[in-house]
Structures are given as C-alpha cells and as structure tokens.
Structure 1
C-alpha cells in the first residue's frame, strides 16, 4: 500500500477512535453547571414559514414531521440517559419549537419571545440576541440550567454555528457576558 494511503487510513482510524471520547466530553459539558443547551427544533421539512403565517395557529406554520416528533423524543431520552438535569425548558412560540420542547419531556416548558424566529424579519436579530443573552445571565444568577429550543437563524446569530435540525449547541456565558460555545451534541 502506498505511504500516502497508509497515512490516510491511520489518520481516519485515529479520528474514528476519538469520536466516542468527544461525544462523552460533550455530555460531560452538558451536565456542567453554567452550561445551557441551545437546541434547534426537531425536523420540520421546509424553510421559513408560509406567507399566511400566524403565531399561535399551527395550521399556518411549518410543523414537525412524524420523523421530527420521533427525533425530539429520542433527544429527550438521550438527555435523561446521560443524566443531564434541566431546571427549565424555554422555547420559541413557533409551533415546531413548542412541540419539540414538549416532546423532550425534560422539564417545565415556558415560552420565551427572545427565542422566536427572526427569519422573516432580520431587523429584530440584534435586539432578540441581546434579550436572550440577558435571559442567560438571569438563569446563571439563579443557578438554573436550561434547554432553549429555537431556530437556526437565532442559533447562528448567537454562535456562528449553522445547526442541523435537533442539534444542541452547548453554550456558557463568559466573564465578559459573551456567549461561548462549549460543545455540540448532534442528532443521531
């Protein structure tokens, strides 16, 4: 076997060997005090919302598919299996986020307008991101760990990460009050 191929195979095997340890580190970080779980809602096929979107009327919104519902339940099972204790679940008021939060079954669910999608109105991005950062500071002051169910645009604005449906980005507030990414938990 040529040396290049041998090195490539060796590198690939080292990376695959490291994956379980990286995943374990993410779960350890998820359990750590001061870490919050910022989650993109489970699978809801499509992009954005229909033109006739009405907040509170799920018939006018893009909603979870059955696969998305199963995904949300599995994520909740993974959180419980990995002993991630959650004090509260905050969610966007969009139906796909509320349903995801409910199906996780990991704690009381509370609507949080700072988590609402600004996909259709990017002008609110800075204000919503600032409001969410302030909410995280309040959670930290109270010693609470939260799961925050929201949308891709919100997560990207806060972390520069483009998450998959159902992906969890582990975040912490730094001493300067800025959000720091502490890890990622990808959907199965």
Structure 2
C-alpha cells in the first residue's frame, strides 16, 4: 500500500509538469492547439449542404455553444495576449471559433472537412503540415477543424470539443504533447 501511495506522489507532479510543458510550448509558439469543433449533433452534413448557408449544415447545439465558451475561458486563462485563430469554413467550426472570443477567426480551407469525399484527405493533410512547417509561430495558435482532419493528422479519434497540443513542425502523425478534454 505504501508503495502505491509513493508511486502516486511520484506520478502526479510528472503529469502536471507535462501539461505545463505543453501549455508553455503553445504559449511560446512552438506548438499548436488542434481542436475538433464543439458539439453539433449528427454525422456528416445533410443532403443539400451549401458551404455559405448555415441552414443547410449541422450546427452547434446549446451544449456545443457552452463548450466553445468554456474553451475560450480556459485559453484566456492560459494566455492573456493575442491568440491566432484559424477555422474550417464550415459553420460549426466558425461558430466554435467565434464563441471562444479569442480573436477574429481566419477561415482556412485546409481545415475544411474531407468526410464523405468532400476533399482529398492526404493532400489537405500534407498541405496543412507544409503551411505550419515553420519551427516557431509569433503567438499562440488554435486550429478548429473536423474529426477526419484531426484523426488524419494525429491518429486520434476525438469527441466533439476535444483538443490536443501538437509540436511544431507538424509531422504525420503529429507529436502530441497533451490531450485536452472538454473544459
């Protein structure tokens, strides 16, 4: 029993330190925070999907909106300065990014979903890695995207609203510094 308690005391600081290290890398521009959009119930998009018409898409529900607000609060606790925010052009991603209220999200087509043949996953993932190939960014950066994009880059199947901090330069699979649950 004493050995188990000692082991717990040894492991607890290590886990906290790993989280602190990942957050520090993100704050210093040595890592990205990659996030799946907040909860928008369903799978894929309805028939008649139009990129510029949110009424034709799956959208955030009230729980998803609350998730996005909580993410914004958590990220502002981690960093008080300017945060670069990129988003897929899908409404559920843009809405997640806007509700976080970190900065004006910049739509980035490389983050658009390629689910159900909407794009070329391999080419998009390679292009995304190339886009973020620099060793260090000027400020903390958040990417809001979809499950398929997230999984292609990390090998992780995230729930809606989950995130990871990944090291720069991006690789495939990405070097995951921390997995972050929905706040």
Shorter-normalised TM range: 0.7 to 0.9
- In structure 2, relative to structure 1, the CA distance for the partners of 1:125 and 1:67 (3 Å cut) is same
TM-score by length of 1: 0.82
Q: Aligned pair 1:72/2:68, yes or no? A: yes
Count of aligned positions: 183
Q: Is contact 1:86–1:147 with CA below 8 Å preserved after alignment?
A: no
SS of residue in 2 equivalent to 1:37: strand
Structure 1 gaps, min length 5: none
- 1:68-109 superposed Cα distances (whole Å, 9 cap, x missing partner): 001101100001112264542110000000000111111231
SS of residue in 2 equivalent to 1:170: strand
Structure 2 gaps, min length 5: none
Q: Is contact 1:39–1:149 with CA below 8 Å preserved after alignment?
A: yes
Q: Aligned pair 1:82/2:92, yes or no? A: no
- In structure 2, relative to structure 1, the CA distance for the partners of 1:88 and 1:49 (3 Å cut) is same
Distance 1:96 1:177 in 2: 25
- In structure 2, relative to structure 1, the CA distance for the partners of 1:81 and 1:98 (3 Å cut) is same
TM-score by length of 2: 0.84
Range with bigger deviation, 24-33 or 107-116: 24-33
Equivalent residue, structure 2, for 1:28: 24
What is the CA RMSD across the aligned residues, in angstroms? 2.9
Query: Which protein has the larger Cα radius of gyration, Structure 1 or Structure 2?
Result: 1
